[in-house]
Amino acid sequence: MITASGIPDAYERSSGKNLRELIEDVEFAIMEQNLRIVERLHVGEAIRERGNKDFPDYEIILYCSLTFAEKILKLDPQMINSCPGRITIRGKEGSYILSAQLWQELPGNEKLNVLIRDMNEILVYIIDHAILKWE
């Protein structure tokens, strides 16, 4: 989806890896970029446990960088509403979509937008490296 500013709201790539391998590679790429994993949510698994056995996998990985957070919050305290960041995995075995919610630029705040563009580049790197086949 494209936002009003013309910037996509997410960066997505597909992968044929199995779920465990994909989660491990995403988490490695996140930590490699000095981001901290705050929480992991296993939404698909929880729904399957409630009885819908065929429900697809939905994983949410929440991440944070206190350095990034401090900088953006000094420039715009309302950015707390976007924290923490998230990367998601959805699909079924052999066919997953890995997606990073991109940070949205704000009109008239170029200092903040530079930081946001830098973080979005990191997120693209994380997604691109997580889908690579490591042999």
> What CATH number is given to the structural domain containing 16?
3.30.310.70
Q: Quick one: which of 21, 42, 26 has its CA closest to 123?
A: 26
- Interatomic CA distance for residues 60 and 86, integer angstroms: 7
Strands (E), 16-114: 36-42, 57-64, 85-92, 95-101
- Interatomic CA distance for residues 118 and 68, integer angstroms: 10
pLDDT for position 133: 74
Q: Report which of residues 113 and 134 the model is more confident about.
A: 113
Q: Report which of residues 81 and 6 the model is more confident about.
A: 81
Mean pLDDT of the chain: 93
Q: Quick one: which of 17, 18, 63, 58 has its CA closest to 37?
A: 63
- Interatomic CA distance for residues 77 and 1, integer angstroms: 26
What does the pLDDT look like over 47-99, one tens digit per residue?
999 999 999 999 999 999 999 999 999 999 999 999 999 999 999 998 999 99
Residue 119, domain extent? 10-130
- How many domains are contained in the chain? 1
In a domain, 135, yes or no: no
In a domain, 126, yes or no: yes
In a domain, 4, yes or no: no
In a domain, 1, yes or no: no
**pTM here?**
0.89
Weakest-pLDDT range from 7-11, 24-28, 35-39, 99-103: 7-11
Contact 106, 76 (CB under 8 A): yes
Q: Which amino acid is at 21?
A: E
In a domain, 2, yes or no: no
Q: Is 96 left (phi over 0), alpha (psi -120 to 50) or beta?
A: beta
Q: How far is CA 62 from CA 35, 80, 87, 134, in A?
A: 10, 14, 7, 24
pLDDT for position 4: 46
